[in-house]
A and B are shown apart, each in its own frame.
Chain A
Amino acid sequence: MSTRSSDKSSTRRILGPFNRIEGDLEVQVEVEQGTIVKAWVNSPLFRGFEQILHGKEPMDALVYTPRICGICSASQSVAAAQALAAAQGLQPCRNGELATNLILAAENLADHLTHFYLFFMPDFARQSYANKAWFKNINERFKAQTGTAARQVLPARAEFLHLTGILAGKWPHSLALRPGGTTRTVEAQEKIRLLTTIIMFRTFLQDVVFGDELEQLNALRNEEELKSWQQSHPDSDFAKFLMVADDLELEKLGGASNNFMSYGAYSNVGNNAEEKNNGESDHLFKSGIWQQDYQSLNPDNIKEDITHSWLSAQSEAKHPYHGSTIVDTDEENGYSWCKAPRLNGHVMEVGAISRQMVDGHPLIRSLVASSGANVRNRVIARLLELSLVVPEMENWARQLQPKAPFCLPSNLPDEAQGAGMVEAARGSLGHWIRIKNGRILNYQIIAPTTWNFSPRDSNDQPGALELALQNTYVGEDKNASVIIQHIIRSFDPCMVCTVH
Chain B
Amino acid sequence: MNKNFNILWLQSGGCGGCSMSVLNAEAPDMYSSLLINNINLLWHPSLSEASSEEFLALLESIEKGDIILDALCLEGSVMQGPNGSGRFHMLGGTGRTMMEVIESLTKKANYTVAIGTCAAYGGITMSGNNPGEACGLQYEGHQAGGLLGENWLSPGKLPVINIAGCPTHPNWVIDTLAQLAMGDLTLENLDSLKRPRNYTDHLVHHGCPRNEYYEFKASAVEQSDLGCMMENLGCLGTQARADCNTVLWNGDGSCLRGGYACINCTAPEFEEPGHSFTRTPKIAGIPVGLPTDMPKAWFIALASLSKAATPKRLKVNAVSDHIRITPGTKVEAKSDKEAEKQ
Which residues of A are in contact with B by a Cβ distance under 8 Å? 1-2, 14-20, 22-27, 42, 44-48, 51-57, 59-60, 62-64, 67-71, 73, 114, 118-119, 122-123, 125-126, 143-145, 150-151, 154-155, 157-159, 161-176, 178, 180-185, 187, 327, 329, 402-403, 405-407, 409-410, 479-480, 485, 496
Contacts and interface: CB of A to CB of B under 8 A. Distances in A.
Contacts of B89: 24, 44-46
B46 A165 contact: no
Interface in B224-281: 224, 226, 248-261, 263, 265, 271, 276-278
B45 to A, nearest CB: 5
B80 interface: no
Given A17-B91, A175-B258, A176-B259, A185 B224 contact: yes
Given A16-B93, A154-B31, A166-B252, 12 more contacts: A1-B52, A18-B52, A45-B79, A47-B13, A55-B128, A67-B15, A67-B124, A169-B255, A187-B322, A329-B85, A407-B222, A410-B223
B131 interface: yes
A19 B50 contact: yes
B19 interface: yes
B92 A165 contact: no
B260 A175 contact: yes
Contacts of A165: 248-253
Interface string B45-89: 111111111011000000000000000000000010010010111
B250 A162 contact: yes
B223 A409 contact: yes
A253 to B, nearest CB: 17
B20 interface: yes
Contacts of B248: 165
Nearest to B276: A57
Interface residues of B, number: 81
Interface in B114-158: 124-125, 127-129, 131-132, 134
Nearest to A484: B52
25 contacts: A16-B93, A19-B43, A19-B46, A44-B91, A47-B88, A48-B128, A51-B129, A56-B128, A59-B276, A71-B20, A73-B17, A144-B47, A154-B25, A159-B26, A162-B251, A162-B252, A169-B253, A172-B17, A173-B265, A175-B278, A176-B258, A182-B224, A184-B259, A410-B223, A480-B93
Interface string B22-52: 0111100111100000000101111111111
Contacts of A59: 276-278
B254 A169 contact: yes
B253 A166 contact: yes
Contacts of B203: none
A406 B253 contact: no
B93 A26 contact: yes
A16 B31 contact: no
Given A46-B89, A118-B46, A479-B53, A169 B256 contact: yes
Contact of A70 (B15, B43, B131): B15
B92 A17 contact: yes
Contact of B55 (A17, A44, A158, A168): A17
B163 to A, nearest CB: 15
Contact of B167 (A16, A46, A173): A173
B135 to A, nearest CB: 13
A411 B21 CA distance: 33
Contacts of A1: 52-53, 56, 93
Contacts of B253: 162, 164-166, 168-170
A23, A170, A175, A329 — most chain B CB neighbours (10 Å): A170
Interface of B: 11-21, 23-26, 29-32, 41, 43-53, 55-56, 79, 82, 85, 87-95, 124-125, 127-129, 131-132, 134, 166-167, 222-224, 226, 248-261, 263, 265, 271, 276-278, 321-322
A45 B13 contact: yes
B124, B254, B258 — most chain A CB neighbours (10 Å): B258
Contacts of B16: 22-23, 69-71, 496
B54 to A, nearest CB: 8
A67 B166 contact: yes
Contact of B29 (A56, A151, A329, A406): A151
Nearest to B34: A145
B13 A15 contact: no
Given A151-B31, A169-B255, A173-B166, A19 B45 contact: yes
A63 B167 contact: no
Given A46-B88, A63-B263, A178-B223, A480 B124 contact: no
Contacts of B44: 19
A68 B14 CA distance: 8
Given A69-B16, A157-B23, A164 B259 contact: no
A150 to B, nearest CB: 6
Contacts of A126: 49
Nearest to A193: B251
A384 to B, nearest CB: 23
A183 B258 CA distance: 7
A112 B249 CA distance: 21
A42 B124 CA distance: 24
Nearest to B45: A19
A20, A27, A118, A169 — most chain B CB neighbours (10 Å): A169
A402 B323 CA distance: 11
A167 B250 CA distance: 10
Given A174-B258, A402-B322, A48 B131 contact: yes
A63 B271 CA distance: 9
A362 B20 CA distance: 33
B17, B26, B134 — most chain A CB neighbours (10 Å): B17
Contact of A183 (B19, B92, B259): B259
B322 A181 contact: no
A138 B62 CA distance: 30
A456 B329 CA distance: 71
Contacts of B18: 70
Contact of B26 (A20, A60, A158): A158
Given A19-B55, A183-B224, A184-B224, A64 B127 contact: yes
Given A1-B52, A47-B79, A59-B276, A23 B11 contact: yes
Contacts of B166: 67, 173
A161 B24 contact: yes
Nearest to B24: A158
Contacts of A184: 224, 257-259
Nearest to B244: A170
A71 B127 CA distance: 20
A151 B53 contact: no
B252 to A, nearest CB: 6
A437 to B, nearest CB: 15
For the complex of A and B, list the 9 residue pairs with the smallest distance between their C-beta atoms, beginning with the closest. A169-B258, A70-B17, A16-B92, A165-B253, A48-B131, A165-B250, A16-B93, A183-B259, A26-B92
A106 to B, nearest CB: 9
A241 B69 CA distance: 36
B128 A51 contact: yes
Contacts of A16: 52, 91-94
